[in-house]
Amino acid sequence: MAKDGFDVDVPEGPVVTKDAEPEVGHQFFYFSEPTEEETTLSITVVGASGDLARKKIFPALFALFYEGYLPENFTVFGYARTKMNDEELQNMISQTLTCRIDKRENCDDKMKEFLQRCFYHSGQYNSENDFAELDLKLREKEGGRVPNRLFYLSIPPNIFVDVVRCASRRASSEKGWTRVIVEKPFGRDSESSRELTRSLKQYLAEDQIFRIDHYLGKELVENLSVLRFSNLVFEPLWSRNYIQNVQFIFSEDIGTEGRGGYFDHYGIIRDIMQNHLLQILALFAMETPVSLDAEDIRNEKVKVLRSVRPFQLEDIVVGQYKGHSKGGKSYPGYTDDPTVPKNSLTPTFAAAALFIDNARWDGVPFLMKTGKALYTKRAEIRVQFRHVPGNLFRGNIGYDLDRTTNELVIRVQPDEAIFLKINNKVPGLGMRLDRSDLNLLYKARYPIEIPDAYERLLLDAIEGERRLFIRSDELDAAWALFTPLLKELEENKIAPELYPYGSRGPVGAHYLAAKHGVRWGDLIDEYL
């Protein structure tokens, strides 16, 4: 198995990436030693001319190829409505391919080899005939080997079901597996999400659907479970006994920038909170799973989601950015975006407080905050611990014990890092305390480039590893939490609190935190 070829230091075999389909997996994983039945992999990117395909999917596929993770026999097909020939597709792709910075040798050669495996087929998304033609071409390339087929749907949600229908009826693999990767949005609320799932399941079995949440593919999100479950020092701390609150923060320093049409229909809560942040919360808060198998992990995540108390309107603060001039430059407000209705109430910022009503987390506020057009681009998890009961050094700390508590910060971006804030004595005569940190800065420790989330997720889908993909019941539970709130926001036409482009967001977020006795960690330590 390619992934485990990487595990040079680990004497034992495959561990995490257990495949759920051993009969297929076995043949596939030892592709380099031909067995009686050789397999081949065909990856079809549906919506090949789109932005995501060009910027993320093709480059990720190339990176996997470059690193030797793709099977020996593979074919990449682009499928879209645009008329294009293979040559033109290859041209288009080549413009966005880059080599990992730490290994540039033979990059050109590798690119050429990769592009030779890329083909194009033009067709309508709802035409079974066009997919039948694609099937013919795929068969040709597959040359009688056992074909495994992966479809990546990089298309708008309203045509998901059409494509799935056509692909599954006309271009499914007969002997190998067929899997479909679907991108968000997975509906707008419980009903539409359920409707989408029902339609997909008309043509696909649950284990063929790979709902991607690219945040789960981020290195430090992957590392979260490693930190929690392979370090004894965190084990006793991970509960209401020691943790005072947990914060999930995701901010972007850009607005919709003329591409607000899609966004305006969804808003930041659906776009970021209901999926990315909630998923990370579930991973953070889940009980120890029986094993690292996808089903075991997803079972635990669903349990967390189902224990979360449904939102009240007062548990959330919404905001929208407005125009702002700074240093002679003027930044447009959200409703200045020509693709956004002038009277739009869609939130571009939201902060929320969640509670998990189970034995481990009862009473611990989980705060989430996300927004566009803020002062910084950042994604992090902050765990604030309780204060030391009966602290001997109380006199040195001052009256507010909660301001000098330990804090564990897992910074997902930028500059991946883990740090643990501790109280420490300032060297010197006398007894002065200082909050410093025990830290691990990835850049310093691991000079290699960290792979893009899409690489990991594509590889996992190829290998049938479902751990980082969202199961239908997880999705249901996530929507069940947010749907009543979203409806209430829309029905009551709640006006978002306006905040200037490039600011720290609406101050309402602080009041929300204050209500639960929390301070946002990211706005205190600017230097970190």
Q: Which of 85, 156, 261, 393 binds other proteins (CB under 8 A)?
A: 393
Say if residues 149 and 177 touch (Cβ distance below 8 Å): yes
DSSP state of 282: H
Count how many residues are written for the chain.
528
Task: Specify whether the backbone of 150 is left (phi greater than 0), alpha (psi in -120 to 50) or beta.
Answer: beta
CA atoms of 496 and 340, how far apart (whole Å):
15
28 CB neighbour count, 10 Å cutoff:
25
Cβ at position 239, least distance to other proteins in Å: 10
The yes or no reply on residue 67 touching other proteins (CB under 8 A) is yes
The yes or no reply on residue 17 touching other proteins (CB under 8 A) is yes
Considering only 80-88, 203-211, 221-229, 269-277, which stretch makes contact with other proteins by CB under 8 A? 221-229
Q: Which of 58, 66, 69, 355 binds other proteins (CB under 8 A)?
A: 69
Q: Which of 400, 415, 487, 495 binds other proteins (CB under 8 A)?
A: 400
CA atoms of 336 and 261, how far apart (whole Å):
12
Q: Which of 172, 406, 472, 483 binds other proteins (CB under 8 A)?
A: 406
* DSSP reduced 3-state for 270: helix
Q: Which of 6, 30, 262, 511 binds other proteins (CB under 8 A)?
A: 6
The yes or no reply on residue 29 touching other proteins (CB under 8 A) is no
Q: Which of 169, 432, 487, 515 binds other proteins (CB under 8 A)?
A: 432
What is the total count of residues that contact other proteins (CB under 8 A)?
89
The yes or no reply on residue 259 touching other proteins (CB under 8 A) is no
Token reading at 452: 């893009």
Give all strands (DSSP E) within 299-432, no chain letters: 316-322, 324-326, 329-331, 349-355, 365-371, 378-385, 407-413, 417-425
The yes or no reply on residue 101 touching other proteins (CB under 8 A) is no
Cβ at position 154, least distance to other proteins in Å: 21
The yes or no reply on residue 360 touching other proteins (CB under 8 A) is no
Using alpha carbons, select from 518, 495, 497, 519 the residue that is nearest to residue 506. 497
Using alpha carbons, select from 12, 73, 90 the residue that is nearest to residue 39. 73
The yes or no reply on residue 236 touching other proteins (CB under 8 A) is yes
The yes or no reply on residue 99 touching other proteins (CB under 8 A) is no
Considering only 207-215, 306-314, 429-437, 477-485, which stretch makes contact with other proteins by CB under 8 A? 429-437
Q: Which of 174, 362, 434, 490 binds other proteins (CB under 8 A)?
A: 434
Considering only 24-32, 51-59, 160-168, 217-225, which stretch makes contact with other proteins by CB under 8 A? 217-225
Token reading at 307: 């224990």
Relative to beta strand 407-413, strand 316-322 is unpaired
CA atoms of 154 and 157, how far apart (whole Å):
9
Cβ at position 397, least distance to other proteins in Å: 6
Cβ at position 414, least distance to other proteins in Å: 14
230-255 CB burial, b ≥16 within 10 A, e <16: eeeeeeeebeeeebbbbbbbbbbeeb
